[in-house]
């Protein structure tokens, strides 16, 4: 599942349907633009808690996947702890097996 999900995240990123970074993700959650939030399993506990709480409050699906380095590789960064997918079809593809 991880490989398909990571490939779909990479595709969504190249399509411009991804917000990177905690501040941008939280801003987009609050403006109801996010379909799915993704945190790296090795992100800090505070980051995961803030993103998870905001996601639950605004009824956005939340998953933890992979590592910061692996997420970063698929988003053209060295590391990426958190991202938001802002397209429903990409979000469904990431969640599907």
Q: How many domains does the chain contain in total? A: 1
Digitized pLDDT (tens) for each residue of the chain, 97 residues in all: 568 899 999 999 999 999 999 999 999 999 999 999 999 999 999 999 999 999 999 999 999 998 999 999 999 899 999 999 999 999 999 998 5
3-class DSSP string for the chain: CHHHHHHHHHHHHHCCCEEECHHHHHHHHHCCCCCEEEEECCCCHHHHHHHHHHHHHCCCEEEEECCHHHHHHHCCCCCCCEEEECCHHHHHHHHCC
CATH number at residue 62: 3.30.1330.30
Q: What range does the domain containing 11 cover?
A: 2-95
């Amino acid at each position: 599942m991880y490989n398909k999900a990571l490939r779909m995240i990479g595709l969504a990123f190249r399509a411009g349907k991804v917000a990177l970074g905690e501040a941008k993700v939280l801003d987009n959650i609050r403006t109801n633009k996010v379909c799915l939030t993704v945190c790296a399993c090795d992100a800090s506990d505070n980051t995961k808690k803030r993103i998870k709480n905001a996601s639950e409050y605004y009824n956005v699906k939340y998953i933890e996947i992979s590592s910061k380095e692996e997420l970063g590789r698929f988003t053209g960064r060295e590391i990426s702890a958190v991202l938001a997918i802002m397209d429903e079809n990409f979000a469904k593809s990431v969640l599907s097996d």
